[in-house]
Structure 1
Amino acid sequence: MVDVEKAPGAGPRDEPVRRADAEGCLAVAVRIPVRIVVLVLVVPVRMAWDALVVVGRFLRDTVLRPVGRALGWLGRALFVWPLVALWRYGVVPLAKGVGWLGNVLLVVPAVWLYRWVLAPAGHVLARFLTAVGAVLAAIGRGLYAGLAWLARYLLVVPGAWLYRWVLAPVGHALAWCGRGLVWCCGQVARGVGLVVTGVGFVLYWTVRVLLVLPALAVWRWVLVPVGRALAVVGREVADAVGHAWRIAGHVSRAVGRFLGTLLRWTVVEPVRWVYRSVLTPVGHAVRDAVLRPLAEAGRGAGRAVRQALASARLSVRQARADVRRMLFGEPAERQSADRREPSAAEARTLGSSTTALTKD
């Protein structure tokens, strides 16, 4: 078989692909000046924006977030926790008590009243009303039959005769007159419609020639080219602003890194060197030469004071005991009561065969 498939893009109807860089001379002429002007204007704005972002992040991390946490904890301590405690230990028990009291004082009596008073009375009243309704229904059916017979022979039969022999002929005559009047009005409306159509045709062409065609010409030959030019200028300005914003971001990042490096080597590194090489050895020397001996001396003085206080308490306790003995004499010795139980030495042990009965 012969391969009759065509290669993609080889057909005679395929349109040429438009290049992405195929732009008019207006865009090329506007692009470079606009980008230069926008870059000069945008770089300070971007650097100020980046500086504000850095300051805002610093304030957020060092001031706003701790203050927010403190305010949140303070709000919980002042409002949430008291309200929760009030709800849990005040409102809920009070509501349960009120509910129980309402159940006892209102619901239970109401249920009892409904069950034993209102329900029997309602059943009796329903039976009475059913009997009365049956009697009234019989009376109503008799009245309805009488009124229906009277209405038929006093209203329906005369009305049917009046409609058949009076109203129907008069209506047919009026309908014939109305059809004639409608035909006359239709002929008049057709003539008026022809006149209005002619006037409308003349006004249409007058408005088209005097207003629509000039407006269309102005739109096609003035507004559309101006709009396209303004669209090109606006697109180039927008592209220039985006390009300048990206370039300003790189410039701002480079300036920020330079300032950070300068701050590091002029402030941070000297301060770190002074802390590491000067303050840390001096602090260690002060700690080893002054603070530790002072701490040891303080601990020794504390131990001496505690020992002195213990000796003083012991001396006071002995002096109080001596004064009590001089005033009241020696306390009487307690006599041990005979519990009729063997002592610890005479008691039998589980691990020995010697008992109190077999001892010598």
Structure 2
Amino acid sequence: MDLQKPPAEPRQPEGCLVVAIRLPVRIVVLVLVVPVRMAWDALVVTGRFLRDTLLRPLGRALLWLGQVLCVLPLVGLWRYVLVPVGQALLRLGKVLVIAPAVALHRYVLIPLGQAGRWLAQGAGAGLARLYARVLTPVGHAVVWLVRYGIVVPVLWTVRYAVVAPVRWLVRYLVVVPAQWVYAWILAPVGRAAAWCVLGLWRLLGLLVTGLGTAVYWIARVLLVPPALALWRRVLVPVGHFLGVLAREVGDALGHAWRIAGHLSRAVGRFLAALFRWGVVQPVRWVYRTVLTPVGHAVRDAVLKPAAQAARAVGRATRQVLASARETARQTRADVRRLLFGEPRERAVRTREREAVLRREPTPLGTRTLDSSTTALTNLTKD
């Protein structure tokens, strides 16, 4: 909470109207803002308490529950079900689909395609030779005959029998009369019409200019002075008054919010101190002076002896069980030895173990000439 007052900005000298408005506005705003600020601070404290004591542990519990109920089963399903099934399906698809398709492509389609390509290349080569050696000369001959035997004579005939007379008739029956009509009739009429339209446009411009000038002076004389008077005498003072009122209301809201913050903090401290001295301190005194000595006495008089007795009983029980197991093992070994005899390897190991336990040195033979341990005698024996 920002309870510090911001630095005041330099202001212009204020009039009596501002001073007369400020005090009642601040009183009214303070009365209205204090309950709102206290309710806001109470909501903030309640929200923080709920967040720290309820919502955050609840969110962590929900997160852990979601991991246990959703994430871990999905991971196990993906890792131990879907992945093996997918790998099995992939291998099955490779064996049943991809391998036969590759074999079909490699050993059937490729030879058929190569054979078809060879046949197509042979047919194309034959058609190309036929086109180059037969169809092309025949076509050239037909084109030459059509061009120089039919088309050229027909064109020359049409040109000198039809086109030339039609062109002469069009020139002297249409073009020459049209040029005469344009030069001696249409051009003078168009110039006269253009001059008339230009005169009418200039006359219309003069009329519009005159009307605009008249409307301007009428509006300037009849509308502008009342509008200026309304602006200067009514709107500007009302705007100044509303601006001063809005500024004072804003300042009053700021002061009232800060004062309400101080009041709310004082009330909160009072309630916290009341709760501490009325609940926390008695509970702490009861815990320190009553529960702690009682707990220590119970621990020293009951729990520790009970724990020691339980440990002693457990130790004795373990020793009894160990001795019973050892006795049962030895009894089984004796019964097996009486019934089946002791195996050779086990007897050897038993004798070696007994020798090691006794730690007696093994007897060494007497050294003679035959039992020499020199390298020369060893080589001779070998």
TM-score calculated relative to the size of structure 1: 0.66
Please point out which of 342, 358, 376 is paired with 1:333: 342
- In 2: Cα distance, 1:200 partner to 1:119 partner: 90
Match of 1:24 in 2: 15
Match of 2:59 in 1: 68
Please point out which of 200, 203, 210 is paired with 1:191: 203
- In 2: Cα distance, 1:223 partner to 1:203 partner: 27
Matched, 1:267 2:292: no
Matched, 1:228 2:240: yes
Match of 1:4 in 2: none
Matched, 1:306 2:315: no
Q: CA RMSD in A?
A: 5.2
Measure how far apart 1:268 and its partner are: 1.5
Distance 1:282 1:179, change over 3 A: farther
- In 1: Cα distance, 2:308 partner to 2:320 partner: 18
Please point out which of 267, 270, 290 is paired with 1:255: 267
The alignment partner of 2:13 has SS state of: coil
Distance 1:177 1:103, change over 3 A: farther
Q: Which blocks of at least 5 consecutive residues in structure 1 are unaligned?
A: 1-18, 338-342
**Bigger Rg, structure 1 or 2:** 2
Please point out which of 295, 298, 316 is paired with 1:283: 295
- In 1: Cα distance, 2:115 partner to 2:63 partner: 59
Greater Cα shift, 208-217 or 162-171: 162-171
Distance 1:189 1:78, change over 3 A: farther
Amino acid at match of 1:223: L
- In 2: Cα distance, 1:37 partner to 1:23 partner: 21
1:1-360 aligned within 5 A:
20-80=11-71, 90=83, 105=101, 158=167, 165=176, 170=181, 174-313=186-325, 330-335=339-344, 345=362, 357=371
The alignment partner of 1:23 has SS state of: coil
* TM-superposition CA deviations, 1:271-325 (whole Å, max 9, x none): 2222122211111111000111111222222233334444555565567678778
* TM-superposition CA deviations, 1:54-104 (whole Å, max 9, x none): 111111111112222233343444445555666776498699879977799
Distance 1:32 1:164, change over 3 A: same
Measure how far apart 1:334 and its partner are: 3.1
Amino acid at match of 2:28: V
Amino acid at match of 1:249: G
Distance 1:294 1:78, change over 3 A: closer
Measure how far apart 1:213 and its partner are: 3.8
Q: Which blocks of at least 5 consecutive residues in structure 2 are unaligned?
A: 1-9, 347-351, 353-360, 374-382
Distance 1:183 1:96, change over 3 A: farther
Name the one with the larger helix percent: 2
- In 2: Cα distance, 1:166 partner to 1:119 partner: 73
The alignment partner of 2:270 has SS state of: helix
Distance 1:117 1:214, change over 3 A: farther
Distance 1:247 1:345, change over 3 A: same
Amino acid at match of 2:295: G
Distance 1:217 1:291, change over 3 A: same
Measure how far apart 1:230 and its partner are: 0.5
The alignment partner of 1:20 has SS state of: coil
TM-score calculated relative to the size of structure 2: 0.63
- In 2: Cα distance, 1:213 partner to 1:155 partner: 83
Amino acid at match of 1:298: A
- In 1: Cα distance, 2:59 partner to 2:230 partner: 62
Amino acid at match of 2:270: F
- In 2: Cα distance, 1:25 partner to 1:211 partner: 35
Distance 1:98 1:317, change over 3 A: closer
Measure how far apart 1:232 and its partner are: 0.3
The alignment partner of 1:330 has SS state of: helix
- In 1: Cα distance, 2:300 partner to 2:230 partner: 96
Amino acid at match of 1:333: E
Identity across matched positions, percent? 53
- In 2: Cα distance, 1:318 partner to 1:335 partner: 19
Measure how far apart 1:259 and its partner are: 1.9
Distance 1:290 1:83, change over 3 A: closer
